[in-house]
Homo-oligomer: A and B are copies of this chain.
Amino acid sequence: MLTREQVLVKKIKEWTGSSYIGDDCAVLADGKLVSSDTLVEGTHFRLDFTNWRQLGWKSCAVNLSDIAAMAGRPRYLTVALTLPAACPDLEQSLEQFYLGFTQCARAFGAEIVGGDLTVGPHFVVNVTAIGESHESGLLLRSGAQPGDVVVVTGTFGSSAAGLELLLQGDSASSLEGREELLLAHLEPQPRLAEALALVRLVGSRGALMDASDGLADALWQIAEQSQVDIEVELEAIPRSTVMSSFAQASGVNPYQWALYGGEDYELVATISADDWLKAQSLAGESFPFKKIGVVLASPPAPAVGELEGERVRLLASGESSNTFSGVVNLSNCFKHF
């Protein structure tokens, strides 16, 4: 089952006749990368959960993550804000917002070049990021090939756990390690250095995207756009100990958050088996990816009525059965749309 957003994006490609739509960024004729993302109050953030500096940081980071997802270098950012007319402490709030935004932009070599300010009934942040393709190559969602190894950065599920912490409020205020989960949700780190390490190793031979809509969605998007199948070892998906124990304390299977929680701005890539061998001879620091699965040839012509999710299979190894094994179920995704 495609999500409503995926159905609409397909239609928009038809209506506009645009050949650029469908990856994390559009690739322009001169190799520039362009991406646009919107954060809406109440849908993507709550001002009782985040402060304005963190909101500025995150608004920047999620857009830089789209440049990382093409293995590019971010250069320019525009920031268009829609603000309620009666916003209290507007000037102080905006100063904090731009402080956080500028901190994140500078930390990753980008700068704000323009934007727009306008009044509206709700607070909306729209950011457009412009970057440059790396001279070593460009990595798209569609580049996976049978025999590739599936690799990821970081850990999964921590952002969803951080959001749950905020939703539980005081009742979870004594959790040890809560700061790690809150930061994962409120101040994500775009994986630009990791993307550059990857593209230097593999050039254009592989597939890449970020897991902003969840690991399961990222795996499915790569499999679908590359016309391959993917098998993932559930137990190989990196998770933080704090996330797993807080999930269990909250009555949630940690794999729910790791696979479907979303907003982990980690990278998901497939690289050739040869490149994976080369990567293992490097120190972990210079190739900060972990293997979670493999790419398989897709059987010819899927049976009518086959679920799109069947392209991605989740395997529980050993004797431990796991309710999350089987094909990915995209309707489990936490979707804003």
Q: List 21 A-B contacts (CB under 8 A).
A: A5-B117, A11-B94, A11-B95, A12-B98, A12-B117, A15-B98, A16-B101, A16-B112, A18-B114, A26-B113, A34-B113, A36-B80, A36-B116, A37-B80, A38-B120, A38-B126, A80-B128, A117-B337, A118-B336, A119-B336, A126-B126
Q: How many residues of A contact B (CB 8 A)?
A: 58
Q: Tell me the bound Cα distance from A337 to B17 in angstroms.
A: 35
Hey, which chain B residues are within 8 Å of A124, CB to CB? 38, 40, 82, 120, 124, 126
Whether, in the assembled complex, A122 has its beta carbon less than 8 Å from a beta carbon of chain B, the answer is yes
Kindly list the 8 A-B residue pairs having the minimum CB-CB distance in the complex, ordered from nearest: A26-B113, A40-B120, A20-B113, A126-B126, A15-B98, A128-B128, A26-B114, A36-B78
Q: Tell me the bound Cα distance from A124 to B32 in angstroms.
A: 26
Given contact pairs A94-B8, A112-B18, A118 touches B40 in the complex (Cβ within 8 A) = yes
Hey, which chain B residues are within 8 Å of A121, CB to CB? 40, 42, 121-122
Contact B43 A119 (CB under 8 A): yes
Binary CB contact string for chain A from 112 to 152 against chain B (1 if under 8 A, 0 otherwise): 11111111111010101010000000000000000000000
Q: Which of B5, B8, B36, B102 contacts A114 (CB 8 A)?
A: B36
Copies of the protein in its oligomer = 2
Q: Which of B8, B94, B113, B336 contacts A18 (CB 8 A)?
A: B113
Q: Tell me the bound Cα distance from A18 to B112 in angstroms.
A: 6
Binary CB contact string for chain A from 65 to 104 against chain B (1 if under 8 A, 0 otherwise): 0000000000110111010000000110011001101100
In the complex, the chain B residue whose C-beta lies closest to that of A8 is: B117
Binary CB contact string for chain A from 3 to 15 against chain B (1 if under 8 A, 0 otherwise): 0010011011001
Hey, which chain B residues are within 8 Å of A78, CB to CB? 26, 34-36, 128
Whether, in the assembled complex, A44 has its beta carbon less than 8 Å from a beta carbon of chain B, the answer is yes
- Identify which of A43, A44, A115, A122 gathers the most chain B CB atoms within 10 Å of its CB: A115
Hey, which chain B residues are within 8 Å of A232, CB to CB? none
Q: Tell me the bound Cα distance from A206 to B78 in angstroms.
A: 27
